[in-house]
Amino acid sequence: MCFSTEASFIGGAAIIAIGVVTLQKVHKPSQIVFACIPLFFGLQQLAEGFVWLSLQNPYYKDFMMPATYTFLIMAEVFWPFMTPLAILLMERNKNRKKILWVLLGMGVSVSIYFTFCLLFYNVTPAIRGYHIEYVEGYPQSIKLFVFGIYLIASITPLFVSTIKRVYILGALMALSCLMTMIFFAQFLTSVWCFFGALISMVILWILRDARRKFFIERTI
């Protein structure tokens, strides 16, 4: 995924299919946001597919900016608060909930920052080799600081939660981000979604296992 037009569309469709199955494993309203994560991964991937298409074929040039901003809104505005919100809704431990509220506040702050940037700074997508680089005119002086808060808000909730096996998802997301930063730092915004399918499968596994145990306990 993220390496060509075809891969982006195929990958996006596959992840959306996983998302549909994942939603079917929901047995509590509090799990809905968590279960929707694969769907949003898939939609984000499809948006980048249209970015690829518009950059490679002048006939589709009108799709470029709408697709670019759709992708970046999901990647930069949506994800910082999606993870802490999803985990907060499922968490039952009161002390952990307090920490998750703080992390959600951090995520919302990052989302507001990126919303401001997308409104007032230019963004230009460009193909570099087999990846898309999003050239952003955001303030450089606080770039690393904001990115650090982004990672804390997006990944830490998965280690804070007492929900069974969610820490595996956190470890996977942390590893995927680390690998991307090491090997594809210039294309971080785009390439990290390469791990979306694997992350989505883990979410499906977590909810499927939780659903199975829930119904077993009800029959005892």
Q: What pLDDT score does 3 carry?
A: 63
Are 16 and 37 in contact, with CB atoms under 8 Å apart? no
Are 121 and 138 in contact, with CB atoms under 8 Å apart? yes
**Average pLDDT for the chain:** 86
Domain spans of the chain, in order of start: 5-219
Domain 5-219 top-level CATH class: mainly alpha
Q: What pLDDT score does 217 carry?
A: 53
Q: What pLDDT score does 1 carry?
A: 47
Distances (CA, A) of 30 to 26, 121, 127, 143, 207: 9, 36, 40, 34, 12
Q: What pLDDT score does 172 carry?
A: 84
3-state helix, strand, coil in the chain (%, to 5): 80, 5, 15
Q: What pLDDT score does 132 carry?
A: 82
Sites in the chain below the pLDDT cut of 50: 1, 187, 190
Are 48 and 193 in contact, with CB atoms under 8 Å apart? yes
Q: What pLDDT score does 73 carry?
A: 94
- Residue 161 is which amino acid? S
Q: What pLDDT score does 88 carry?
A: 97
Residues 95-131 pLDDT 10s: 999 999 999 999 999 999 999 999 999 999 988 877 7
Measured distance CA(163)–CA(125) in Å, rounded: 38
